[in-house]
Each structure stands twice: as structure tokens, then as C-alpha cells.
């Protein structure tokens, strides 16, 4: 199967969670907007194409299927790409974990845009500082401790006792948080040995290592979800 991934150009964003799965599996895919421009996405969002109507990218085209939402896309790709166990209980658990990752990603976004996505960060800086403080002190420890427990229950090396798309998403989560909140993550790091070790192992997987070293892996920047504003990080 050849896939078409639709996500905005210039940022990793939520599309990166899907991209990592495709890259890790060595799947054949086109990163459509990077090749054709963002207008290729807009045509889908405007309803020009037949079939399922996505609300926003990322979405994936697989034959006649159009699948949106990160967790939904990964739930679809997992069995085909060999990135989820065969049992129904494990697949449901993988989906549950991915949805929880998506919850945290949404909170990270809202730390720098707590009032409205339509406003610039500079228009909500004061509110962002309050929201980011709560994220760093309360929400990040709660979520990351949960994922640390997940790894411990999974034998210490994988979320599901074997490599899965959840491991890839946890790698991306840790990478993004390390970029956005380097001081906070350094403070929390000693409490997260399993997550840190998992991130290192994922980065060394052959296809992932090649991808990270390629131009396909865009750098984090202040237009994506994980943004580094020093004033939103732990005080120096």
C-alpha cells in the first residue's frame, strides 16, 4: 500500500506522530503538502474530494480511505505496519495510550495559546505564563509519571511489551518537551529513567535514525506545537 500523508508544510506538528510510524516501518508514502503545497490540504477541507470529510490535518489517504485524527490514523496503520500487537486487548490499550498522549499534546499547545489559537502568542503572553506554570508544575509530572508507570508495567522497555507506535509517539513527546521546556525537563528527568531510555532506543532504530538525520525531519520551531519561549520554562 502506498500512503498519502496530508499535513501543513514547515512544521512537525501533529503530523509527525504519523510520519514517525510510516518512517519506522519503511512504508511507501508521499508527504503531499511538502510536494504540492498547502493548497492540496485545503481542497480536502473544502469538501472538493469525495468521501470522508476531515476537519483538520493530519489525515491519511490509503486507497479510497481518508482517515483523520492522529490516534485514529495510528490505530488504522498499526496492524498493517506491524506496529501494534495482535490481541484486541493490546490494540485497545495502544489506542487508549495514544489518546492520552494526544491529550497532553493539546495541553502543551494551550500553554502558549491559552486564550485563542487565532491570536498571536504575544497577544496572550501573560495568560500563557500562568498556564505554562501549571503545565510544568502539575500536569507534566502527572502525565509523565503515568507513562513511566506504563513502561514499568510493560517490562521497562516498551509500553506494550513489544515495539509499537506508542513507543514512537512517546519518543516524539519527549523530544518535543525537551525542546519546549528544557529546564523543566532537566528538573523532571531523574524521575523518568524509563522514558529517557526508551527515547534513546527509538532514536537508534535504523529507519528512525536515518530519518532523524535527513532533511525530512524538520527542526522544531516556534510555529508548531512544541515551542520554546524561555519565559514559559522553569525560572533560571
Domains along the chain with CATH numbers: 88-205 (1.20.1050.10)
Confidence of residue 203 (pLDDT cuts 50, 70, 90): very high
How large is the average pLDDT for residues 111-125? 96
pLDDT (tens digit per residue) in 65-80: 999 999 999 999 999 9
Averaged confidence pLDDT in the chain: 96
Whole-prediction pTM: 0.96
Instruction: Give the per-residue pLDDT at 49.
Output: 82
Distance, in Å, from the CA atom of 70 to the CA atom of 168, rounded to the nearest integer, reads 13
pLDDT at 134 over 90: yes
Burial 185-202 (b: 16+ CB within 10 A, else e): beebeeebebbeebbeeb
Q: What burial class does residue 228 get, using C-beta atoms within 10 Å of its C-beta: 0-12 exposed, 13-18 middle, 19+ buried?
A: middle
Instruction: Give the per-residue pLDDT at 236.
Output: 84
140-153 helix and 88-112 helix, angle to the nearest 10 degrees: 160
How large is the average pLDDT for residues 186-198? 97
How large is the average pLDDT for residues 26-52? 91
How large is the average pLDDT for residues 157-169? 97
Please give the helix or strand (H or E) that residue 196 lies within, else none: helix 193-204
pLDDT at 16 over 90: yes
Confidence of residue 47 (pLDDT cuts 50, 70, 90): confident
Question: Any idea which of 2-6, 25-29, 42-46, 143-147 has the lowest mean pLDDT?
Answer: 42-46
Distance, in Å, from the CA atom of 37 to the CA atom of 26, rounded to the nearest integer, reads 24
How large is the average pLDDT for residues 12-18? 97
Instruction: Give the per-residue pLDDT at 48.
Output: 82
How large is the average pLDDT for residues 36-56? 89
Amino acid at each position: 500500500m502506498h500512503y498519502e500523508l496530508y499535513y501543513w508544510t514547515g512544521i512537525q506538528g501533529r503530523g509527525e506522530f504519523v510520519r514517525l510510524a510510516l518512517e519506522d516501518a519503511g512504508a511507501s508514502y508521499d508527504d503531499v503538502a511538502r510536494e504540492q503545497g498547502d493548497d492540496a490540504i485545503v481542497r480536502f477541507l473544502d469538501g472538493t474530494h469525495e468521501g470522508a470529510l476531515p476537519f483538520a490535518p493530519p489525515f491519511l489517504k490509503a486507497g479510497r480511505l481518508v482517515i483523520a485524527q492522529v490516534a485514529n490514523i495510528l490505530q488504522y496503520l498499526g496492524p498493517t505496519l506491524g506496529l501494534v500487537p495482535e490481541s484486541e486487548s493490546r490494540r485497545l490499550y495502544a489506542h487508549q495510550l495514544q489518546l492520552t498522549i494526544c491529550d497532553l499534546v493539546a495541553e502543551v499547545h494551550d500553554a502558549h495559546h491559552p486564550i485563542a489559537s487565532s491570536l498571536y502568542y504575544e497577544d496572550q503572553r501573560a495568560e500563557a505564563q500562568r498556564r505554562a506554570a501549571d503545565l510544568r508544575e502539575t500536569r507534566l509530572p502527572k502525565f509523565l509519571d503515568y507513562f513511566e508507570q506504563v513502561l514499568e508495567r510493560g517490562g521497562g522497555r516498551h509500553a506494550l511489551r513489544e515495539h509499537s507506535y506508542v513507543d514512537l509517539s512517546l519518543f516524539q513527546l519527549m523530544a518535543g518537551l525537551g525542546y519546549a521546556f528544557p529546564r523543566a525537563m532537566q528538573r523532571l528527568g531523574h524521575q523518568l529513567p524509563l522514558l529517557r531510555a526508551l527515547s534513546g532506543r527509538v532514536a537508534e532504530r535504523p529507519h528512525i535514525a536515518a530519518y532523524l538525520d535527513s532533511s525530512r525531519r524538520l527542526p522544531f520551531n516556534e510555529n508548531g506545537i512544541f515551542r520554546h519561549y524561555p519565559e514559559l520554562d522553569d525560572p533560571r
